[in-house]
Amino acid sequence: MHILAYELKVHPPSAFDIQHAVKLKDDIRRIRGLIKPERARYFVGLLALFVVNLSDVIAPLFMALAIELTEASLTGAEPLTPTPLALVGLNAAAFTMVAAVVVYFALQLTASLFRYPMMMKIAVPSHQIGQNIRRALAKKLLFQTQAWYDGKKSGDLMSIGTADIMAVRMMLGPGIMIAADTLMLVTLVLIVLFALSWQLTLIALIPVPFIYVITNRLSHAEFKGFEAVQEDLGVMTERVRESYAGIRIIQGYAREDHDRQRFADYSRRHFDKNLSLARVRAAFDPTLDLMLGVATSLVLIFGGIGVVNGSLTLGSFVAFLFLIRYLSGPMIGLGWSISLFQRGRASLHRIDELLDAPNSIIDGTETLVSPVGQIDVKGLTFAYQTPRAGENTQEKSGNGPVLSDISFRIDAGKTLGVFGPVGSGKTTLVSLLTRLYDPPKDTVFVDEKDVRDLKLDNLRANVVLAPQETFLFSTTVERNITLASNEAELEVGRVEELARLAHLHNDVTAFSEGYATLLGEKGVNLSGGQRQRLAIARAIGADPRVIILDDCLSAVDATTEEKILDNLREVLAGRTGIIVSHRVRAVEKCDEIIVLEGGKITARGNHEALMSAGGYYAQIADEQTRDGQNGEGHL
Amino acid sequence: MTKPLSKIEQEALQITQDPVLRKMLDEERVESEELDLALLWRLIGYLGPHKAVASLSVFLSLIESFLMTLPAYIVGLALDRAQGGGTRKPQVFDQALDGIANTFADYSNVGTTQTRVIVVFGLILLVVWCVRWVSAMATTFIVQKLGQQVVHDLRVDVFNHITSQGLEYFHKNPVGRLVNRTTFDVQSLSELFSDAFAQGMRDLMFVSVLALVMLSLDVQLAMILILSLPLLIIVALAYRKLARPSLRTMSALQSRMNGWLAENISGMRENQLYRRETRREAEWWSLTQAHQASIYRVIQAWGLLRPGMMIISGAATATILGFGYERVNAGLISVGVLVTFLEYTSRIWVPVRNLTEKFNVIQTALTAGERVFDILNTPTTMNDTATVDTSLAVNEGAIRFEDVVFRYPGTKEDVLKGIGFAVQPGEMIGLVGDTGAGKSTIIQLLSRFYDVSDGRVLIDGHDVRDYALTKLRSGIALVPQDVVIFAGSVRENITLGANYSDENVMKCIRAVCAEDLITRFEDGLDHVFDEGGRTLSAGERQLISFARALLVNPPILILDEATASIDTRTESAIQKALKELTMGRTTVVIAHRLSTIRDADSILVLRKGEVIEQGNHESLMAQNGDYATLYRAHTA
């Protein structure tokens, strides 16, 4: 119960959790469903487990028999038969010492050999089920929509994809194995022990409930301590990351000493957390050992008296000593497997919640056969449904419409400039064109077809967006550039050509491994300007009918910007283009420019028309050319 | 020392075709094959300050080892006293234990003397277990504490070492990598310490004590058990050989999969925009497939290890039973001694098993340890020079570059090719030029983030290398292009930990027109920014950076203007703040804004590491060179 309560505290229970926490039946059905494809292997594994346990429990009886034979040969009396063996009709006198030892070893050998199929047929399939869940999860994630992602934190998704899957795996592997082991072993050992001496058995069982309670308590405390350490490790790591990332400031202001002291404090706190965990761990094994020790002492006292009285044979006594040890393992295991099941079920609920989430964008059915790239937007008004988690751009925080009554047409082959201040809805507008978000019905058309009716794959093959801040994958520069390209048709030299068009080639050749250089954690970092240029190269690589550049040159210096714009005009020849920017220079050569302010089109026309109209556009153009107000007059 | 990739590693690469995984496996492969004694020795060196506790833990371990051998011994002795079967050679412990048993048995007259003796033996056993319980808890805790203490000391050392590295180091090593070294790698050394080193010592002591006790009981039976140890070790080594490549592949795949998931969640928009969904799915499929294959091998190796060890221990038990029978009959040992030995058989292989099971953890920790010590072995590049004059401080703020040549370490091309210029105290100089012209290099040489390759950089007439680094840098305030916001209060972010009164801090905040930033939080200066100050706009971050610089009130200000677009509202605040900030200070500015440049006392136009034009706005315009062309192009 402790573990469950803790789980609920970490992840605030959703209605889903509470509803399901009681539905044990449903869970069992779900778990059976998961195991179903692997059930044959599980069956073999459990069978092997049974053989292992049976041999393990019988072997000490033959050890006892050997002791009886030894004792008998010493005293010259008739050897006594341990009760369980006598019950199945065996007689000690029929055994020679060699036979007893050989049978003992044969049993040990059987137990050992069957451990192999036991491991392979339970642990391996449980991992396979884990992989199946991983695959289903990734498939779900890959086809979920941006609107859905807006309501999620990536940390939560990660924890479902890693920790929760692991918890389910642990439930299906060790959890099931330990549970089965406990059931089988306890039953078998108790049968044999009761047959040997039921009085002594009851006495030896006295510490057992304590073992269960201690395991449950301590494993709960350990789990909590472990979580605390992990959490604190995260905090400390973030601290370190900041110091290293901000090293120029720290060194530049000569504040290393302060920063070091601060880190030492964090490190000391982490030390303390680890110490609390160490306290629990230090108590764990010794305490369980003590319980076993208490049982042994009880057996020694009462069994010893029995031996003196003659009510217990020496062999039975030895068998007892060895068999009670088998009880402590399962008792520890029982507490453990119960917490594995508790954690596993809670994790399974979170996984299922994710897997069962409906897809909010429904794929269309039509395809553009010979697309030309005419864009029509008719009376588009749009508001975000989910407030975005962890982001604070003005554009997305409000509940009101981000775009109101937007209409325009771009004829095939023409270029549209979208101009406006930060937060005016520019990015939202272009996201709707590629259906990253779903526009209302009958508002956005490509070649006179509603984008909602088009197959997503077909739409995005023809309308390609280069976002303002693009994401780089931790693979080679080449693979990053060709992300949007059709890999099957990639010609030799195409990557370089794309990089040259985006003025990235010289940057790439400066890297030690050129286009094979890895980006990200294991490789190099790109500057903001390089990232933007890479985004442009990517979009060009897709070779689409419509290219949308969402403010992709804001971090590129002016000279380079000019050269890229020249190249772009070449690339755009024969294609439809949309250039989003807050710089007049970027949009001034477009066939038409729309000015967005507060989600509304406040002016439209070409550069000259807008300049002479004297509105926001002309005002900004004036500022940007006069003395670089708004940070746009880059030298 | 690069070994070829193992079969399982090749298989994983073939299934996944993943360049990142290849790099990860390559990095792992460079590790040394054998236990690095130098590394362990160095780690032990960290025990130095904790000698007393370390000795205590060794002493406690010894006691514990002894206590662990006692129970089986007592049970055997009690049996002999109860049944009296066979000949028990008199032992030292026997007499002591018998003495205690008989003394206590005499206090009562319930039952026979024999049963009373048995009860007392049982009680002695209980006491032994209790003492062992306490000693085991104490030892485990002390060892853990020692390990954590070592790790803490090491962590602080690594952090201090890294933060005293020059900027060059940070360019070569991505932050993520350095962070991992400082936290995760150091942390896994605690496992090396407690699991390998400390546990190994405890196990070794236990086996030694056990061997002594056994030899004193019966040499022949003892030899059977002692000789079974090498067999166990052979099995352990075979397992190691079998499991190692699979374990390595499995853990590499695990971290690759975590990385894959994290980055594809973050980059989902790109995946969808560029229709990568199906391909990504296939990538993931192949990763899980390779992962499962490596898991199969790991479990297989594991599935062979346990049975292998159990067969050996089973064989040892069977042999003890057989030989024991002979020796009891020959009157050499008692039945009780035989039972004691049987009990010991099941104990002796536990240490070997422990070590084998922990093998993977130890190996990972060793590799981590190597990486950590590599960090500590890299000498710091930026230190005070031998000619340092600690009394020097930046007072006036006169700057002079004399024929400065600079080349980044390890590169061939000069970034600065003989730059010379001078700035009088209180003046402003603007640096103009394309990316790669050398603007950033100039400001980095000024704060001595790098040393010149040739020529001199002088401040107030002294070479920057003659200043103590901290003195030099306290005289220069840096306002970088990308502002770093630290997790912490507003106050801390502005003072960067130095002692300034709130009044003083507020004055600076007001001066840079950022008061609005503070008053909107209820807790004012105590307001804690979340992770990296995400909620602040680019302009607001700039203002905080200005306040930082103003608070230090240095003679020299370095300003690397932001290129990113800033909203109009903050822009005017920034312009006003800039005036306040630069007033009465020598200012070096990398200019992106025309307005800043026009007011500069002089402007350096740089191209490929050379000054091509120099003068103020008017003279440069009159000169009608590159600057004029550039300027006109932007104001056309």
User: Running DSSP on this structure, what letter comes out for residue B86?
Assistant: B
- Whether the CA torsion B196, B201, B202, B203 is positive or negative: it is positive
Contacts of B138 in chain A (CB under 8 A): 282
pLDDT at B373: 87
Whether B305 contacts A198, CB under 8 Å: no
Of the residues A144, A166, A200, A247, the best mutation for testing chain B's interface (the one with the most B CB atoms within 10 Å of its CB) is A247
What's the pTM?
0.80
Q: Is B127 on the interface with A (CB under 8 A)?
A: no
Tokens of A225: 């301590």
DSSP assignment of A38-94, as one string? GHHHHHHHHHHHHHHHHHHHHHHHHHHHHHHHHHHHHH-SPPPPPHHHHHTT--GGG
Chain-chain contact of A301 with B329 (C-beta, under 8 angstroms): no
Q: Which residues of chain B have pLDDT under 50?
A: 1, 32
Q: For residues B270-299, b (16+ Cβ closer than 10 Å) or e, as one string?
A: bbbbbbbbeebbebbbbbbbbbbbbbbbbb
Q: Is B271 on the interface with A (CB under 8 A)?
A: yes
Q: Is B516 on the interface with A (CB under 8 A)?
A: no
Chain-chain contact of B163 with A461 (C-beta, under 8 angstroms): no
Q: Which residue is closest to B138 within chain A, CA to CA?
A: A282
Residue A413 Cα, gap to closest chain B Cα (Å): 21
Of the residues B144, B179, B346, B552, the best mutation for testing chain A's interface (the one with the most A CB atoms within 10 Å of its CB) is B179
Q: Is B122 on the interface with A (CB under 8 A)?
A: yes
pLDDT at A523: 65
Tell me the residues of chain B between 586 and 625 that have a Cβ less than 8 Å away from chain A.
591-595, 597-598
Of the residues A58, A240, A393, A519, the best mutation for testing chain B's interface (the one with the most B CB atoms within 10 Å of its CB) is A240
pLDDT at A630: 39
Interval B165-175: pLDDT, tens: 888 888 777 77
| A400: three-class secondary structure by DSSP | coil
What CA–CA distances, in Å, run from B565 to A20, A510, A554, A624, B330?
49, 28, 7, 12, 97
Contacts of B567 in chain A (CB under 8 A): 421-423
Tell me the residues of chain B between 165 and 184 that have a Cβ less than 8 Å away from chain A.
167, 170, 174-179, 182-184
Cα–Cα distance measured from residue B342 to residue B316, given in angstroms and rounded to the nearest whole number = 9
Chain-chain contact of A300 with B167 (C-beta, under 8 angstroms): no
Q: For residues B428-448, b (16+ Cβ closer than 10 Å) or e, as one string?
A: bbbbbbbebbbbbbbbbbbbb
Q: Is A96 on the interface with B (CB under 8 A)?
A: no
Tell me the residues of chain B between 438 and 497 that have a Cβ less than 8 Å away from chain A.
447, 449, 469-471, 473-474, 476-478, 480, 484, 486-487, 496-497
Q: Which residues of chain A have pLDDT under 70?
A: 1-22, 386-399, 521-523, 625-635
Count A/B contacts: CB-CB distance under 8 Å.
466
Whether A331 contacts A425, CB under 8 Å: no
Contacts of A504 in chain B (CB under 8 A): none
Q: Which residue is closest to A293 within chain B, CA to CA?
A: B129
Residue at token pair 């001078």 = B422
Whether B454 contacts B404, CB under 8 Å: yes
Cα–Cα distance measured from residue A319 to residue A58, given in angstroms and rounded to the nearest whole number = 10
Whether B554 contacts B524, CB under 8 Å: no
pLDDT at B35: 57
Whether B420 contacts B402, CB under 8 Å: yes
Contacts of A464 in chain B (CB under 8 A): 273-274
ipTM: 0.85
Q: Is A491 exposed, middle or buried (0-12, 13-18, 19+ CB in 10 A)?
A: exposed
Query: Which of B56, B59, B36 has the alpha carbon at shortest distance from B47?
Result: B56
DSSP assignment of A290-344, as one string? HHHHHHHHHIIIIIHHHHHHTSS-HHHHHHHHHHHHHHHHHHHHHHHHHHHHHHH
Task: Report the number of secondary-structure helices (H) and strands (E) in chain B.
Answer: 25, 12
Chain-chain contact of A560 with B435 (C-beta, under 8 angstroms): yes
Chain-chain contact of A631 with B571 (C-beta, under 8 angstroms): yes
Q: Is A147 on the interface with B (CB under 8 A)?
A: no
Percentage, residues of chain B above pLDDT 90: 17
Residue A151 Cα, gap to closest chain B Cα (Å): 13
Contacts of A307 in chain B (CB under 8 A): 79, 82-83
Chain-chain contact of A471 with B567 (C-beta, under 8 angstroms): no
Chain-chain contact of B79 with A304 (C-beta, under 8 angstroms): yes
Q: Is B330 on the interface with A (CB under 8 A)?
A: no
Cα–Cα distance measured from residue A589 to residue A415, given in angstroms and rounded to the nearest whole number = 9
| B267: three-class secondary structure by DSSP | coil
Tokens of B213: 């006790």
Query: Which of B312, B302, B357, B305 has the alpha carbon at shortest distance from A120?
Result: B302
CA-angle at B106, arms to B100 and B107, nearest 5°: 100
